[in-house]
Structure 1
Amino acid sequence: VPDNTFEPVDGTPDRVGALTRITVHTKGVDKGGKKLRFTARTTAVQRAERLALEYVEGAFRGTAEFTLTRLEDGGTRLVMFFRASPQGQLAFLARLVDVGAMHTRATRAAFGRLNQLLSTGTPAASAAGGAR
């Protein structure tokens, strides 16, 4: 995902209790612009099926859940549920603009780019079994 970076703080994200620092680069990595930083704690893991997180520090507080479902054609459906509230300066900005709509647009764009990468037969797609 070109606009987000993830930095493990305490263990790997696939371990319950692990912390991961997330940075959303609003104009893309290394392209300037505002950066939204927050920390997620892994709360549940079902390998190859589900990852649940709690946002515990930074620009958001709340939860997120990623689920993977195998499709009949051999692909994989990735779904994200994001239930979080903006904090700090982002909470102030949320009074002026629809942060939820901005998140939805950015997430759809990121998943669209991920789908393109995985379905074009790149090395990542080969390693992932061509998932989409």
Structure 2
Amino acid sequence: MHTIDVIDETILNHPTDRVWHALVAELNGAANWWTPHNTFQPGPTAPQHKGGTSRITVHPNGVGKPGPKLRFTATTTHVDAERQLTTTLSGHFTGDFSYTLTPVDDGARTRLTITFTSTPHGWPALLDKVAHLGFKHSQQTQRALTQLRAHLDTHLDTHQDDTKGTSA
């Protein structure tokens, strides 16, 4: 089987606490910046806690549009709040997904690195042979990071309860 190993990264003009809150909100289902291609549904323990889960659905054609959906669950294995969140994946993908936040310019900005190392299973393994899922994943992640930047730029107050899926 083919392993997908992709690293996407960007520098955001916001401190790590703002980026962390936006990331945690998204993993808890806020749908502020990763939609329309990925949606997240948190499990009984929120994904920002060790052992927490988030059910991820990839909608290649967009949410609410016809077409296949790829589903997998991310279970959090490591959390260093405002620095790193690492998960293991099960379902259509098995492997690891991690988010690393690094302060830049004395904390005024943040480098967000997203690492996706996984193996597709079931029909996505066949799809990977023709659709190059790693490339598609990176395209959609870069689109999401652009949307995250816009979201952070327009939503200045992140002190609301982002962990319940609401945003400022």
TM-score range, shorter chain: 0.7 to 0.9
Unmatched runs of 5 consecutive residues or more in structure 2? 1-33, 160-168
Structure 1 length-normalised TM: 0.85
Match of 1:99 in 2: 133
Task: For residues 4-25 of structure 1, give each alpha carbon's deviation from its aligned partner in whole angstroms, at most 9, with x where no partner exists.
Answer: 1111123000111122110111
- State the Cα distance separating 1:126 from its structure 2 match: 2.9
Contact 1:10 1:20 in 2 (8 A): no
Q: Secondary structure at the match of 2:43?
A: strand
On the 8 A contact 1:53/1:64 being kept in 2, the answer is yes
Partner of 2:109: 75
Q: Percent identity?
A: 37
In structure 2, give the amino acid aligned to 1:71: V
> Within the alignment, does 1:18 sit opposite 2:49 as a pair?
no
Extract unaligned runs of 5+ from structure 1.
none
Give the SS at the match of 2:82: coil
Deviation, structure 1 residue 41:
0.7
- Name 1:84's counterpart in structure 2: 118
Q: Which residue of 2 aligns with 1:126?
A: 157
CA distance in 2, matches of 1:37, 1:81: 18
TM-superposed deviation, 1:97:
2.5
Task: Report what 2:42 is aligned to.
Answer: 8
**1:14-53 equivalences in 2 (<5 Å):** 14-53=48-87
Alignment counterpart, residue 65 of structure 1, candidates 76, 98, 101: 98
Higher relative contact order structure (alpha carbons within 8 Å, sequence separation ≥ 6): 2
Aligned length: 124
Counterpart code for 2:64: D
- Shift of residue 38 of structure 1? 0.4
Deviations 1:9-64 (A, max 9, x none): 230001111221101111222233321110111000000000000002x2100001
Q: SS of 1:127's equivalent?
A: coil
Partner of 2:26: none
Give the distance between the partners of 1:31 and 1:126, measured in 2 at CA: 32
Q: TM-score when scaled to structure 2?
A: 0.68
Aligned to 1:117: 151
